[in-house]
Amino acid sequence: MARIAAIARETKETDIRIELNLDGSGQQQIESPVPFFNHMLSAVARHGFFDLQVQATGDIEIDAHHTVEDLGIVLGEAFKKALGDKAGVRRFGRSVMPMHEALASVVIDFSGRPFLVFNVELPKAKVGEFDVELVEEFFVAFCNHAGANIHVNLAYGDNLHHIIEGIFKAFGRALDEATSIDPRIDGVLSTKGKLE
C-alpha cells in the first residue's frame, strides 16, 4: 500500500500544495517565496528519503511568518495522512546531526498527541532574509497537525545557518526512522492498541 499524501491549503494569506511519498528516495521539488526555507525542506526530504513536492505562495510582502507556519501545517497534515493508521510503523525516531561547529538532535514520537520541546535559543536575527525565530513556529505547526511529540535540542553551535541546517537534517533522519515499517510490529506500537 502506497504511503502517500497530497494536501492543499488556501487562505487569504497563503496557497500551499504538498505531495509526499514516505517511501521515496529523497527527490524533491520545493518552490516557495522563502529561499532559505526551501533549502531546509530540501534537506528534510533528502536526509529522510522522502519524495516531496511543495508549491507555495504567501504574503511575504508582510513577512515570511504566514508562509512558514502554513508550510508546517500542511506538511504535518501530509505526514499524518500518509501514515494512515500507523500499523507497523516504528513510531519513534531520533537523530543527532553535526553541522560544522553545531550539534543538534531531534527526537520524534508519532503518538497522536502533539507537543513540542524546543531547547534552542535563537536570537531575533536573520539568515539572509529569513527570520530565524520562524524555525520554532514551523515546528509548532508541524507537531499540532501531524500529531507528533518532538524534542529539538541544540548541544552547541555558533553559526545560525549551521545550527538551523543541522536541526532540519536531524529532523529528516528522525522522521525517516519514525515512519519506517518494522515487520515485527503487529498493528500499532502501543500498549493501548491505538495511537491518538
User: Does some domain include residue 189?
Assistant: no
What nine digits make up the cell of 192? 493501548
User: Does some domain include residue 195?
Assistant: no
Question: What is the mean predicted confidence (pLDDT) over 83-96?
Answer: 94
User: Does some domain include residue 174?
Assistant: yes
User: Does some domain include residue 194?
Assistant: no
Please classify residue 7 by burial: count the beta carbons closer than 10 Å to its beta carbon, then call 0-12 exposed, 13-18 middle and 19+ buried: buried
Q: Are 79 and 175 in contact (CB under 8 A)?
A: yes
User: Does some domain include residue 59?
Assistant: yes
CATH of the domain at 114: 3.30.230.40
* Structural domain that includes position 173: 4-179
User: Does some domain include residue 188?
Assistant: no
> Total structural domains in the chain?
1
pLDDT for 36-89, tens place per residue?
Answer: 999 999 999 999 999 999 999 999 898 999 999 999 999 999 999 999 999 989
pLDDT score recorded for residue 186? 84
User: Does some domain include residue 184?
Assistant: no
User: Does some domain include residue 115?
Assistant: yes
Q: What gap in Å lies between CA 43 and CA 47, rounded to an integer?
A: 6
pLDDT for 179-190, tens place per residue?
Answer: 999 888 887 776
pLDDT score recorded for residue 191? 60
pLDDT for 117-136, tens place per residue?
Answer: 999 999 889 999 999 999 99
pLDDT for 3-33, tens place per residue?
Answer: 999 999 999 999 999 999 999 999 999 999 9
